[in-house]
């Protein structure tokens, strides 16, 4: 068996301008690890090792992010039958901002009316460059001009009253601000301001947009749900392994229907209504167990998705031709199962360590699968926004809360709008120090449940569509929330304490 642990690099960026801090990268409790595992049998091999895979990093001088509050709950327009996509209405406001030296900050007074911000262009080289829903912050050497163009997507109710801004800046140079409405790609100037030192608050009338139909952006609209990453490789003999430091409270075999039904019922008690199952290809034991799990999920209000294991043992990722064949097989064989987890009728699939395969190769894979009529809803497990050009969403560490709006509102202000799903992941801790041959090892303490509490609380502020527990039953790396001898139902109960009220609130 090959086991890999993906390490999420912590990101913390403080942006300091003349006279103090002008912005802070909006991640809470970011120094976290999200363990993931790949396996094809029940006992780790002596040759198993850990592979650290860093997440995408944020450039030190640029932060583009959205607040996790405000736009959440913006009502969609009608949802066509048979889809999980609705249309989010918004108006577009453009800000052209010229800074002729020193530092400056443009603040939005009511960020709750801002769905998303998108930078269109930058001329010049900033020392500090901050674009988010509340701030447009710049800092440069005196005598060096900066010009940035930014579009704001505003909620429809934003046009009912004047929209408020505030400018603050250093003592040198001048700031020029040009604000325009944008309709059907055409910008119309509504206000221009030249600003020197001292603060200035001002408003912009958006009355010209009244009677103008808002732009519609497709976004995912699915019922709230908890999920869990599930490994189907256990047999009764697994539980005698000396690697284990804890065991399930009730021992089981992954191919036993009664055991699987019991696990599904346990999961549902905590708001987890789907297992995303590690799958290693057609005809494998995981494939046989996957088929059985689909049968057991029928009529239980439970769904089963696919965690695609793209690595073969200790080797590189599988070739594109094999992944194409696998995806075609999955959809051809299981598409009609009522228990298969789908988004807009397409099978839900998450490839493990997605960016181990280049984006261009994924584009080729998707084109081939679609040509065969076997498209899937493909979700990445990395913090890589560039992959959303090809993928249908992201699941990732739930403490990176700014990712939620970035993913959920991907289609807003986009040149080629497409709906994306956001699924923050949470896990209780990790300890793989007893896995034979593992070097380096990882140990992140469970902190008596406090780590899990922080991750659950953070994830629910990130505008999630679903939330995934990472994992239900990875007993080798000890990331499980399944009831155990050591912890009883502590982690299942803790998960339910957060997920159940969140799910009920949407109802």
SS3 sequence of 3-22: CCCCCCCCCCCEEEECCEEE
**Whole-number Cα distances in Å, 49 to 14, 103, 363, 433:** 35, 49, 30, 11
Q: Judge whether 76 lies within some domain.
A: no
Q: Is residue 22 part of a domain?
A: yes
Q: Is residue 426 part of a domain?
A: yes
Domain co-membership, 353 together with 227: yes
Is 71 among the domain residues?
Answer: no
pLDDT band at 42; cut points 50, 70, 90: very low
Domain boundary among 189, 219, 249: 219
Q: What is the mean pLDDT of the chain?
A: 85
**Rounded to whole angstroms, what are the CA distances from 302 to 227, 298, 347, 439, 488?**
10, 7, 15, 38, 23
Q: How far is CA 208 from CA 159, 161, 162, 193, 298, in A?
A: 9, 11, 11, 19, 53
- Helices 285-297 and 257-268: crossing angle, nearest 10°? 60
In a domain, 83, yes or no: no
Write out pLDDT tens, residues 278-325.
999 999 999 999 999 999 999 999 999 999 999 988 789 999 999 999
Q: Same structural domain for residues 391 and 284?
A: yes
287 and 368 co-located in one domain: yes
25: confidence class by pLDDT, cuts 50, 70, 90: very low
446: confidence class by pLDDT, cuts 50, 70, 90:
very high
Pair 306, 432 in one domain = yes
Instruction: Choose among 351, 362, 346: nearest CA to 419.
Output: 346
Contact call for residues 341 and 348 (beta carbons, < 8 A): yes
Q: What is the pLDDT of residue 129?
A: 86
Whether 81 maps to a domain, the answer reads no
Whether the pLDDT of residue 41 is over 50: the answer is no
Domain boundary among 187, 202, 219: 219
Higher model confidence: residue 56 or residue 129?
129
Whether 213 has a pLDDT exceeding 60, the answer reads yes
Q: What is the largest CA-CA distance in the chain?
A: 75
pTM, two decimals, is 0.84
Query: In this structure, what DSSP letter does residue 174 have?
Result: -
* Last residue of one domain, picked from the residues 201, 219, 237: 219
Domain identity same for 187 and 245: no
Q: Do 209 and 286 sit in the same domain of this protein?
A: no
Same domain, 171 and 254: no
Report yes or no: 260 and 473 within 8 Å, Cβ to Cβ.
no
Band of residue 195 on the pLDDT scale cut at 50, 70, 90: confident
Distance CA 202, CA 188 (A): 18
**Domain that residue 123 falls in:** 88-219
List Cα–Cα distances, 140 to 112, 173, 184, 310, in angstroms. 29, 11, 34, 45
Task: Say whether both 229 and 209 belong to one domain.
Answer: no
CATH number of 316's domain: 3.20.20.80
Distance (Å) of CA 60 to CA 23, 68, 78, 128: 12, 22, 41, 9
Please give the Cα distance from 457 to 384 (Å, whole number): 23
Tally of domains in the chain:
2
Domain co-membership, 466 together with 374:
yes
């Amino acid at each position: 068996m090959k086991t890999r642990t993906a390490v999420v690099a912590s990101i913390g960026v403080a942006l300091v301008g003349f006279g103090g801090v002008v912005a802070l990268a909006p991640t809470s409790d970011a120094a976290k690890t999200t363990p993931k595992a790949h396996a094809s049998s029940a006992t780790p091999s002596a040759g198993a090792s850990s592979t650290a895979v860093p997440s995408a990093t944020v450039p030190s001088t640029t932060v583009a992010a959205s607040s996790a509050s405000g736009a959440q709950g913006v009502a969609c327009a009608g949802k066509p039958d048979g889809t999980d996509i609705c249309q989010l209405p918004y108006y577009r406001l453009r800000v052209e901002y010229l800074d002729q030296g020193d530092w400056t900050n443009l603040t939005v007074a009511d960020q709750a009316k801002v769905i998303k911000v998108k930078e269109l262009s930058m001329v010049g080289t900033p020392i500090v460059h901050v674009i988010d829903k509340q701030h447009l912050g710049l800092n440069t050497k005196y005598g060096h001009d900066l010009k940035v163009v930014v579009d704001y997507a505003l909620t429809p109710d934003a046009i009912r009253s004047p929209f408020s801004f505030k400018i603050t800046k250093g003592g040198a140079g001048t700031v020029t601000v040009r604000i325009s409405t944008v309709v059907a790609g055409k910008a119309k100037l509504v206000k221009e301001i030249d600003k020197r030192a001292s603060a200035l608050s001002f408003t912009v009338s958006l009355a010209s947009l009244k009677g103008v139909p808002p732009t519609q952006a497709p976004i995912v609209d699915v019922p709230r749900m908890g999920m869990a990453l599930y490994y189907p490789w256990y047999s009764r003999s697994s539980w005698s392994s000396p690697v284990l430091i804890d065991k399930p409270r009730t021992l089981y075999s992954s191919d036993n229907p009664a055991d699987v039904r019991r696990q599904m019922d346990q999961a549902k008690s905590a708001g987890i209504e789907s297992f995303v199952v590690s799958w290693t290809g057609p005809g494998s034991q995981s494939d046989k167990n996957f088929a059985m799990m689909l049968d057991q999920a029928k009529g239980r209000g439970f769904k089963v998705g696919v965690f695609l294991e793209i690595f073969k043992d200790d080797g590189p990722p599988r070739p594109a031709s094999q992944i194409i064949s696998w995806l075609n097989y999955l959809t051809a064989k299981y598409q009609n199962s009522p228990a298969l987890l789908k988004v807009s009728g397409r099978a839900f699939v998450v490839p493990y360590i997605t960016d181990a395969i280049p984006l261009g190769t994924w584009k080729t894979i998707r084109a081939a699968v679609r040509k065969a009529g076997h498209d899937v809803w493909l979700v990445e497990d990395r913090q890589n926004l560039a992959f959303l050009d090809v993928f249908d969403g992201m699941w990732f560490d739930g403490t990176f809360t700014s990712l939620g709006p970035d993913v959920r509102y991907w289609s807003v202000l986009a040149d080629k709008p497409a709906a994306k799903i956001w699924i923050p992941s949470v896990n209780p801790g990790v300890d793989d120090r007893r896995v034979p041959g593992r070097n380096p090892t990882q140990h992140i303490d469970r902190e008596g449940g406090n780590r899990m509490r922080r991750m659950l609380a953070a994830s629910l502020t990130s505008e999630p569509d679903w939330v995934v527990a990472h994992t239900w039953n990875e007993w080798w790396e000890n990331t499980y929330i399944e009831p155990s001898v050591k912890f009883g139902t502590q982690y299942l109960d803790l998960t339910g304490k957060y997920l159940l009220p969140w799910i009920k609130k949407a109802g």
